[in-house]
Amino acid sequence: MIDPFLFYPHGQPRRQATQLGRPMVNERLTAMSAPGEVVTRFAPSPTGALHIGGARTALFNWLFARGRGGRFLLRIEDTDRARSTPENRQAILDGLTWLGLDWDGEPLSQFDRAPRHAEVARAMLATGRAYKCFSSQAEIEAFREEARAAGRSTLFRSPWRDEPESAHPDAPFAIRIRAPRDGATTIADAVQGEVTITNDQMDDMVLLRSDGTPVYMLAVVVDDHDMSVTHVIRGDDHLTNAFRQKMIYDAMGWPVPVMAHVPLIFGPDGKKLSKRHGATATRDYQAMGYPAAGMRNYLTRLGWSHGDMEFFTDAQAMAVFDLSGINRSPARFDLRKLEDLSGRHIAVADDAALLHEFEAFLAASGRPALTADQHAVLLRGMYCLKERAKTFVELYEKAHFILTSRPVVPDDSAAAQLDTVSRGILSELTPQLQTASWDKDSLEESVTAVAGAHGLKLGKIAGPLRAALAGRTVSPSVFDMMLVLGRDETIARLTDAAG
């Protein structure tokens, strides 16, 4: 059913020793990548929590790298000093950790690399691939306004592009790339296919601002190159940026990594996913009770497919995940499917691991922590809880019979089950249970026998029994509860209820 390991046939030669690519300042950021090794990265801006869309981008990068024995790197794009906070950075790391995505090495700070970015800009200046532009921002803005009003192109053509050095004033300047104006540029995108634009609509973008700080477009390229990134998998809002970035790669003589621009995720209404759709932070889904494995499965399948493969483990996903399986159109986020997948992952999870994640859920959702006793009984009872819960919220409700203690206080609907007749039958049951052998078949036999003596079917007595044991009308099977609770506790609860 699962295809054999697929490889992506877009190997790229790494780190050719071009003149400009020679190591400068702190170029060697990570260990040299082995030939053919896949290196991906996730590069969030720390301006808020980890968004669902970002999480899926990270997941694709992780899956792709891990499935090929490659590395998955993290780079924090914190050059926006006003919005980048340590708290946000941590929130993103926490989100990734919760989702179960592990990265290699230390996350890189883009801000810290500003000197290296500036150095590359200056190198381009030295080779004539960039030039000094003395136009002021006010001038440019005025030009654009006029162009807009006249309905002309707002592409700014700097008058300094062809001015000789001797004509340069002694004034602050920005460094702009000398973009090609003839011909066309095409990007071979692994998702979008070949996309081409004519060069006449590219402007000489600024590389280094007049205050000496690098611009995002430059920083991304330099960092990706220095990190030896082989595959850039990111949101398709960057597709047109890719053309601009390619100019920088070309100017530096650097190999362009494989690009894969994946569509954004929409809300259920088909609009861009935003706060008004409810939770957009990945971590919120932990508090809502979704297991990380379910989330991973769901997010992987959102925008990517492999035939009819719907429910899978990480290992299975890694074995077949490839860029060509990524869809070109945006997908809508749908809680129902997430819920279904979550329930199935809970059902097949290892009991101890599941309990561990359940405890993290309790903490994240502000529920009381487990006592040592509860922990032990829950572990024993996990087998019957997990097969019928779609989320940890449901699991928590089913586990009420374990989390509560005597005397069990029935809720209204459970109390309604405990009428006088039922209580009488329960009291008849206790002596039977005193001697019954404590396994599912024997218990069922005993209960059915007592019910039969009153001319009742099992169903009639299961209700009161459930009410006595759990205090609820929703719980695991009554026999499973007896098994998990043990003989003494079971009889005690029945006696409480009968009395």
Partner RNA sequence: GGCCCGUUCGUCUAUCGGUUAGGACACCAGGUUUUCAACCUGGGAAGAGGGGUUCGACUCCCCUACGGGCUGCCA
Q: Considering only residues 397-416, where is the footprint of RNA by CB under 7 A?
A: 398
Minimum CB distance to RNA smaller for 156 or for 358: 156
Residue 26 Cβ, how far from RNA at the closest point, in Å? 19
Of 275, 386, 390, 398, the active-site residue reads 275
Give the count of beta carbons closer than 10 Å to the beta carbon of residue 261.
23
For position 186 contacting RNA by CB under 7 A, the verdict is: no
- Which string of x and - marks every residue 102-131 that binds RNA (by CB under 7 A)? --------x---------------------
Candidates 3-11, 200-208, 224-232, 349-357: pick the segment binding RNA (CB under 7 A). Answer: 200-208
**Which residue of 120, 205, 399, 414 would you call a contact of RNA, by CB under 7 A?**
205
H/E segment holding residue 250: helix 239-252
Residue 166 Cβ, how far from RNA at the closest point, in Å? 20
Minimum CB distance to RNA smaller for 28 or for 440: 440
Residue 31 Cβ, how far from RNA at the closest point, in Å? 26
- Which string of x and - marks every residue 211-230 that binds RNA (by CB under 7 A)? x-x-xxx-------------
Pick from 255, 299, 320, 349: nearest CA to 3:
320
Concatenating the DSSP letter of every residue in 92-112 gives HHHHHHHHT---SSPPEETGG
Would you call 275 a catalytic residue per the annotation? yes
**Which residue of 40, 57, 61, 79 would you call a contact of RNA, by CB under 7 A?**
79
Minimum CB distance to RNA smaller for 201 or for 316: 201
Q: Measured between alpha carbons, how far is 475 from 481 in angstroms, rounded to an integer?
A: 8
Q: Site residues for RNA, window 248-267 (CB under 7 A)?
A: 263-264, 266
Minimum CB distance to RNA smaller for 245 or for 282: 245
Give the count of beta carbons closer than 10 Å to the beta carbon of residue 325.
16
Give the count of beta carbons closer than 10 Å to the beta carbon of residue 298.
24
Q: Site residues for RNA, window 265-284 (CB under 7 A)?
A: 266, 268, 270-272
Contact (CB, 8 A) for 125 and 131: yes
Q: Which residues contact 127 (CB under 8 A, 6 or more apart)?
A: 20, 251
Minimum CB distance to RNA smaller for 253 or for 463: 463
Q: Measured between alpha carbons, how far is 120 from 276 in angstroms, rounded to an integer?
A: 42
Q: Measured between alpha carbons, how far is 307 from 182 in angstroms, rounded to an integer?
A: 43
- Which string of x and - marks every residue 20-39 that binds RNA (by CB under 7 A)? --------------------
Q: Measured between alpha carbons, how far is 203 from 205 in angstroms, rounded to an integer?
A: 6
* Helix, strand, coil % over all residues of the chain, rounded to 5: 50, 10, 40
- Which string of x and - marks every residue 412-451 that binds RNA (by CB under 7 A)? --------------------------------x-------
Helices (H), 21-170: 52-66, 86-99, 114-126, 137-150
Q: Site residues for RNA, window 469-498 (CB under 7 A)?
A: 473-479
Residue 37 Cβ, how far from RNA at the closest point, in Å? 26
Q: Site residues for RNA, window 150-169 (CB under 7 A)?
A: 151, 153-156
Q: Is 460 exposed, middle or buried (0-12, 13-18, 19+ CB in 10 A)?
A: middle
Give the count of beta carbons closer than 10 Å to the beta carbon of residue 199.
14
Residue 174 Cβ, how far from RNA at the closest point, in Å? 4
Candidates 20-28, 95-103, 297-305, 489-497: pick the segment binding RNA (CB under 7 A). Answer: 297-305
Helices (H), 264-334: 284-287, 292-301, 314-320
Q: Just list the catalytic residues.
A: 275
